[in-house]
Amino acid sequence: MSDATQSYHYGVMRRAIELIDQSEASLSLDELAAQMDMSPAHFQRLFSKWAGVSPKKFQQYLTLGYAKALLRDRFTTLETAQAVGLSGTGRLHDLFLSWEAMSPGDYAKGGGGLVIYWDWFAGPFGQTLVMGTDKGICGMAFGSETGEAEAWEDMSSRWPKAQFVQDGAKLQAWVEASFTPVPNMVTPLHLIGSPLQIKVWEALLSIPSGHVSTYSEIAESIGNPKAVRAVGTAVGRNPISWLVPCHRALRKSGGLGGYHWGLPVKRAMLAYEGARRDSA
């Protein structure tokens, strides 16, 4: 699928999700299609191709009730996930990922001496800013809600002393595998953060696709149960959205909490994963 086609598909999906969000009642296929200026059949095909399920089914995944159901039915005890090898350098959730953390000393240098390659790519959640070093992807951000300029400023300011080089070809294979896993290909991640942040991000990597955890559970899993607020901050500062799945962290109440790149993106990610998992 071309970048232009993928961007068009996400644009249609984003408008549909906004309509679903704003409606107090479930919208019919005809109503949604009319708002998109499409025939019901065309809209149904396009939507199902993106989400893996019908618009009617997808609406169920976008409700607050679904978030609460995730906590009830698909809550992940991180201690167990880690015990069975879902963290570290092995196979993580539904993707083949490996990760390496930058040393605290190098992190303190603010990216000094580091070359970071970057570019914008079309993805299932709109235009996606991807950054990476020679060791792997170190940043992934979404500009659909914040704007591309703001996303760039946010990400680049995290490593103020790094050298940034626009080179999409350097990252292309990793990006493609990030959204559509490629058999026998490992997508490397380069985690650049403080020791506490690395611990929190490692815990996030232990949450399987289609499951969720809570901020308090994450705090427990890193051995600091009282650090819920600090954990929340570290989750929010996760630079590799989607791959380090901070969207899977919820409040105990089932509320979504915040999301650095906008709650509509977080809701779309959870719904996308749930739909894909159940249709597999």
> Could you tell me the end-to-end alpha-carbon distance of the chain, in angstroms, rounded to an integer?
21
Which segments within the chain are labelled E, that is strand?
A: 97-101, 115-123, 126-133, 136-142, 163-166, 187-191, 213-214, 249-250
Q: Which residues pair with 128 in a beta bridge?
A: 121, 142
Do 67 and 270 meet the contact criterion of CB atoms below 8 Å apart? yes
Do 67 and 73 meet the contact criterion of CB atoms below 8 Å apart? no
Distance between CA atoms of 239 and 74, rounded to whole angstroms? 25
Which tokens in the block code for residue 213? Answer: 């955890």
Task: Report which DSSP code applies to 180.
Answer: S
Q: Which SS3 state, helix, strand or coil, does residue 25 take?
A: coil
Q: Which value, to the nearest 10 degrees, does the dihedral of the CA atoms of residues 259, 199, 154, 271 take?
A: -30
The one catalytic residue among 140, 246, 250, 275: 246
Q: Which SS3 state, helix, strand or coil, does residue 118 take?
A: strand
**Is 246 known to be catalytic?**
yes
Q: Which SS3 state, helix, strand or coil, does residue 191 take?
A: strand
Q: Which residues pair with 132 in a beta bridge?
A: 117, 137
Distance between CA atoms of 73 and 84, rounded to whole angstroms? 19
Q: What does the angle CA 16 – CA 250 – CA 63 come to, to the nearest 5 degrees?
A: 30
Do 247 and 270 meet the contact criterion of CB atoms below 8 Å apart? yes
Q: Which SS3 state, helix, strand or coil, does residue 20 take?
A: helix
- Annotated catalytic residues are 246
